[in-house]
């Protein structure tokens, strides 16, 4: 079956309210970026893996002519980042059999004795493809999404975290306190970032980047919908340093942790348990991905 770039009828099936102005924006974007639409159709039709993906998520290709992970990308940068990300996931599937949009991967579980309270999954981002196709999602035992971080693999083989979001619903603050205790003092946002650093290494990427607030796509809209993140604080707490990559400012997140000697004596046991948890998560990720994934940069 041949893939064709999605038509306006698919907008009716999306979560956003369909208005005349939305149809007009769709057609204007498609006209302006039509060469990229035709180029993208040729790319997708070259592999059944991609055809299958866009049959299931037809509106996901809107990012080619709209926005993807960085709102300041020009058309060529946006297109190249979409292609890079999809190509990486195709290689991940060919090497490990991991197909995130068909079956999510359980990375870790948080327990209270024998009862599982939360699970951490690597899965398809079902909220908005503009912030990346893939997500690391923390869910409670009822499958409710508590926290998530979305990401993409860039043409430079960097691991770019495009969003980190936690719920602001009633009772969320208390739940965050419980989670932080279960994570040995790590806030959920910091926990997700540490696991994404582990995935950076397991995937063979060069470095972990955090999107700067000025480039983040949906931070204002996310706040209105009940999700919020202070990106400057989050990246700095994760040993972030502002750098420039291909003309864009990102936080480069260092892969390091406190020396146990730097920790006050009354907190050392907690930190030892935290470091052991992260080591075990890295073992899981290496077993699932690193030991069989051979990354070929194109």
Q: pLDDT digit string (tens) for 44-66?
A: 999 999 999 999 999 999 999 99
CA distance 14 to 8: 11
The answer to whether residues 82 and 132 touch, using CB atoms and an 8 Å cutoff, is no
Q: pLDDT digit string (tens) for 160-210?
A: 999 998 876 546 778 888 899 999 999 999 999 999 999 999 999 999 999
The answer to whether residues 159 and 125 touch, using CB atoms and an 8 Å cutoff, is no
Query: Which tokens in the block code for residue 290?
Result: 């690193």
Q: Which of 142, 135, 140 is nearest to 165 (CA)?
A: 135
CA distance 107 to 282: 9
Q: Which of 163, 185, 203, 210 is nearest to 264 (CA)?
A: 185
CA distance 58 to 38: 16
Dihedral sign from CA coordinates of 225, 132, 135, 210: negative
In order along its 298 residues, the chain shows pLDDT tens digits of: 899 999 887 777 555 566 788 889 999 999 999 999 999 999 999 999 999 999 999 999 999 999 999 999 999 999 999 999 999 999 999 888 889 999 999 999 999 888 999 999 999 998 889 999 999 999 999 999 999 999 999 999 999 999 998 876 546 778 888 899 999 999 999 999 999 999 999 999 999 999 999 999 875 554 555 445 689 999 999 999 999 999 999 999 999 998 999 999 999 999 999 999 999 999 999 999 876 554 443 3
Q: What pTM, to 2 d.p., does this model score?
A: 0.91
Q: Which of 229, 226, 221, 222 is nearest to 169 (CA)?
A: 226
């Amino acid at each position: 079956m041949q893939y064709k770039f999605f038509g306006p009828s698919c907008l009716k099936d999306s979560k956003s309210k369909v208005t005349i102005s939305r149809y007009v924006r769709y057609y204007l974007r498609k006209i302006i970026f039509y060469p990229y639409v035709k180029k993208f159709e040729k790319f997708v039709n070259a592999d059944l893996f991609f055809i299958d993906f866009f049959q299931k998520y037809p509106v996901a290709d809107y990012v080619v002519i709209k926005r993807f992970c960085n709102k300041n990308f020009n058309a060529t940068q946006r297109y190249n980042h979409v292609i890079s990300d999809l190509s990486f996931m195709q290689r991940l599937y060919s090497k490990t059999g991991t197909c995130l949009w068909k079956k999510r991967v359980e990375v870790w579980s948080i327990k209270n004795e024998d009862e599982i309270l939360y699970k951490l999954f690597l899965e398809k981002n079902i909220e908005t493809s503009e912030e990346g196709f893939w997500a690391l999602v923390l869910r409670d035992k009822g499958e409710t999404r508590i926290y998530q971080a979305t990401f993409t693999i860039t043409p430079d083989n960097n691991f770019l975290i495009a969003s980190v979001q936690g719920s602001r619903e009633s009772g969320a603050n208390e739940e965050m306190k419980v989670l932080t205790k279960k994570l040995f003092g790590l806030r959920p946002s910091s926990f997700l970032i540490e696991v994404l650093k582990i995935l950076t290494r397991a995937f063979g990427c060069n470095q972990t980047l955090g999107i700067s607030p000025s480039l983040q796509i949906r931070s204002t809209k996310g706040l209105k919908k009940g999700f919020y993140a202070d990106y400057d604080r989050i990246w700095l707490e994760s040993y972030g340093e502002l750098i420039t990559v291909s003309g864009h400012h990102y936080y480069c997140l260092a892969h390091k942790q406190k020396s146990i000697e730097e920790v006050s004596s009354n907190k050392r046991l907690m930190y030892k348990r935290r470091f052991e948890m992260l080591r075990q998560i890295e073992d899981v990720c290496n077993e699932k991905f690193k030991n069989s994934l051979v990354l070929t940069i194109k």
